[in-house]
Amino acid sequence: MEGLAQRISQAMLGQEQATITILSTLLAVQDELGYLAKEAIELVAGFTDSTINDVWAVASFYPNFRFEPPCLHQVEVCWGASCHLVGAMPLMEAVMEACELESEGDREDGRLSLRFNTCLGACAHAPVIAIDHHLMGRQTPETARERIGGLLR
């Protein structure tokens, strides 16, 4: 556990920009750990001279924060309007099936987590998925199944 506290401290202190806030510090910790550990909330409160309540208020607001250790792979499916019009729904269905998940969330074996993203920002290449933050455009249920199958093989 000491290792975890040390990594959190390094992430907090390693911020290069001049303006350090609760949000910037939480983002730095999540970048390092892939999630916000319980210890992180307390350490961030101390580091930013705020309360645990203040930190929780911010952490619970932004849906990109997670509070469990990350899975091995992160799969995201875009459901913005551009993607919706050109097939995000069948794509989501195929991705959930390939991930063997009923909805957003983590696989119990920790091999991947699935998130629906409001816009991945590559709308001209719709429909888009992202695997481990790597964007992949013009997906079909078949190509997406194949890519996710590759992660689980």
Partner 1 sequence: MIQVVEEALAQHGAAATVSRVGCIGLCYAEPLLDVTLPGGPRVFYGNVTPAAAAEIIETHVVGGAPVERLAMGYIPGPDGVDSAGGIPETVASLDSHPLRAVETKIALRNAGNIDPGDIYQYVANGGYHALNRALTEMTPEETVEQVNASGLRGRGGAAFPTGTKWRFLAGSNAPVKYILCNCEEGDPGAFNDKAIVESDPHTLIEGILLAGYATGANAGYIFIRHGHDGPIDRAREALIQAKEIGLVGQDIMGSGFNFELEVALTGDSYVAGEESALMEAIEGSRAMPRFRPPFPAQFGLFGKPTNINNVKTLAYVPQIIANGGDWFASIGHEQSKGTVILCLTGDLKYTGMIEVPLGINLRDVLYEAAGGVPDGKSLKLIQSGGPLGGVLGADHVDVVLDFEVLRSAGAILGSGGIIAADEDTCVVDLTRALIAFCQYESCGKCFPCRMGMSHLLEVLERICRLEGTLEDLALMRKVGENMQAGSLCGHGQLGFNPVSSALRYFGDEFEAHIVGRTCPTGVCLKPKFSPALTRR
Write out the residues near partner 1 by the rule CB under 8 A: 17-19, 21-27, 48, 57-58, 61-65, 78-86, 89-90, 92-93, 96, 103-105, 116, 118-119, 121-126, 133
What does the alpha-carbon distance between residue 124 and residue 146 come to, in Å, rounded to a whole number? 22
Q: Which is nearer to partner 1, 3 or 103 (CB)?
A: 103
User: Smallest distance, Å, CB 87 to partner 1?
Assistant: 10
Retrieve residue 133's tokens: 């933050």
Rounded to an integer, what distance in angstroms lies between the CA atom of residue 55 and that of residue 23? 8
**Residue 113: CB minimum distance to partner 1, A:** 12
Q: In angstroms, what is the minimal distance from the CB of 23 to partner 1? A: 4
Residue 43 or 83 with smaller CB distance to partner 1: 83
Distance CA 83, CA 53 (A): 37
In the bound state with partner 1, the residue whose beta carbon lies nearer, of 1 and 124, is 124
Burial group, residue 4, by CB count within 10 angstroms (0-12, 13-18, 19+): middle
Euclidean distance between CA atoms 80 and 126, whole angstroms: 9
Shortest Cβ distance from residue 1 to partner 1 (Å)?
26
Least separation in angstroms between residue 47's CB and partner 1 is: 12
Contact by Cβ (8 Å): 5, 39? yes
Nearer to partner 1, 7 or 125 (CB): 125
Residues contacting 93, CB < 8 A, separation 6+: 141
Q: Quick one: 2 or 64, whose CB is closer to partner 1?
A: 64
